[in-house]
A and B are shown apart, each in its own frame.
Chain A
Amino acid sequence: MEDLTEMLKGTLEGCVLEIINGEETYGYAITRRLNELGFADVIDGTVYTILLRLERNGLVQVTKRPSEVGPPRKFYALNDAGRAELATFWAKWEYLSSRIDSLRKGVR
């Protein structure tokens, strides 16, 4: 689906948190995962700035690991604050999606 970017913006950080929650991973792999999910427009630069923000806000633990192909990669794992943030994200998401569903079904 194209032109999802605007709608996706607010939720992308939550998506990235969820992906990191699954397993410790690095930027390039996160972008590929999002692309596989059908978010074709998501680019590395966007994911990278989200990762920087997560790092600045103290939600992730960063480890540098050597890679076979070139410079060392930064791997990201959630810490306790990150897991709490992820739980908050899903709670907000539940609320938002249930409200929007109600609107669509005409519930008052």
Chain B
Amino acid sequence: MSFWETVTGSDLTRHWTAFEARARVLPDDYRAAWEQIKAGLFPHGDFTGRNLTPILDSALALLEEAAAEGQSVGEVLGDDIPGFCAALTGGTGARTYRDRWREQLNDNVARKLSRLGG
């Protein structure tokens, strides 16, 4: 990734356009699942969302492989797409932006308290 891409985010745009092109040729139920997967993964993104690119790529690859096998999306993902997304990002213990905010808040409170001598 070049410096130019890092600052402009053009690499992200390029990847996302490629993902959407791949998703467009999937069967309808798979496309719906893809939308849900993106929504489910979004909270696990870092500041720019670059950490999601390889995860989205692998999730899309699974959808493509399974669609090629002629399975329904229900057979592949079941009814727990949020759970699937959590597992994709490294288990339910995966850090989300909420965890980071909570941590930040705790740190700030602890610092203020110690300054007060509490």
- Interface residue ranges, A against B (CB under 8 Å): 26-28, 43-46, 48-49, 52-53, 56, 67, 69-71, 73-74
B75 within 8 A of A: yes
Q: Which secondary structure dominates where chain B touches chain A? A: helix
- Interface residue ranges, B against A (CB under 8 Å): 58, 61-62, 64-69, 71, 75-78, 84, 87-88, 90-91
Contact present for A43 and B77 (CB under 8 Å) = yes
A and B contact pairs by CB, cutoff 8 A, 22 listed: A27-B62, A28-B65, A28-B66, A28-B69, A43-B77, A43-B78, A44-B77, A45-B62, A45-B77, A45-B78, A45-B84, A48-B62, A49-B88, A52-B58, A53-B90, A53-B91, A56-B90, A69-B68, A70-B64, A70-B68, A71-B61, A71-B68
Contact present for B71 and A49 (CB under 8 Å) = no
**Cβ 8 A contact of A43, one of B67, B75, B88, B91:** B75
In angstroms, how far is the closest chain B Cβ from the Cβ of A80?
24
Residues of the A chain whose Cβ atoms lie less than 8 Å from the Cβ of B75 = 43-44
Contact present for A73 and B65 (CB under 8 Å) = yes
Contact present for B61 and A74 (CB under 8 Å) = yes
Which of B62, B77, B84, B87 counts the most chain A CB atoms within 10 A? B62
Nearest residue (CB) in B for A44 is B76
In angstroms, how far is the closest chain B Cβ from the Cβ of A101?
30
In angstroms, how far is the closest chain A Cβ from the Cβ of B59?
9
